[in-house]
Amino acid sequence: MPEQVVINSIEFALNGESLSGSVAVANLSRLQDLLFSSSGTLEYTLTGKRGENDKLFLVCAVKGMLQLRCQRCLGTLAFPVDLDSELELIEDEQVFPALVNEDELTDAIKVDPNMDVLALVEDEVLLGLPMVPTHASGDCKTGDDFGQAKTDKQNAFSALAALKTKDLRKN
């Protein structure tokens, strides 16, 4: 069980603090169902900063490698993680809808006096994953390209049509 890293998000951002560490992929429980293998570690850096109009931000950077399951061949898919997220700290949940279209590069999170840093890192990794992880076309180990129709095989319906016309000629 990993040691829990907890910060007061407002104080962390106000003081411009920085925190770096690593977490074993095996310790990120919500990620496990998406993985082919839970080996490896992810390196993270969390930095607090004050922006324009005294807005407070957390900047989360995560780097590493995940072994995802390709949804085409079900084999291993090496997926490099290289995330940089800027998260504005919001005290009032009513402000969230107003922020949606304001800045597409910045997300917002609620202020938390007991913020679990590893849960935040896991959230950012989950948000950075592809919806359907697959190898590039032609790279799957099965040799079949499931999305492409085979032109050299005879269509089953045309084979049935040929049988039908054959039966009609006999009668």
pTM score, whole prediction: 0.75
**pLDDT tens, per residue, the chain with 171 residues:** 457 899 999 999 999 999 999 999 999 999 999 999 999 999 999 999 998 888 999 999 999 999 999 998 989 999 999 999 999 998 876 565 555 555 566 788 999 999 999 999 999 999 999 999 999 888 887 655 455 444 556 676 777 677 776 666 666
168 within domain boundaries:
no
156 within domain boundaries:
no
Provide the domain count of the chain.
Answer: 1
Q: Which helix (H) or strand (E) holds 118?
A: helix 117-128
Beta bridge partners of 79: 66
Residue 125: CB partners within 8 Å, gap ≥ 6?
Answer: 28, 31, 42, 62, 66, 81, 83
154 within domain boundaries:
no
Q: How far apart are CA 91 and CA 110, in angstroms?
A: 6
163 within domain boundaries:
no
155 within domain boundaries:
no
Domain assignment of residue 100, given as a range: 6-145
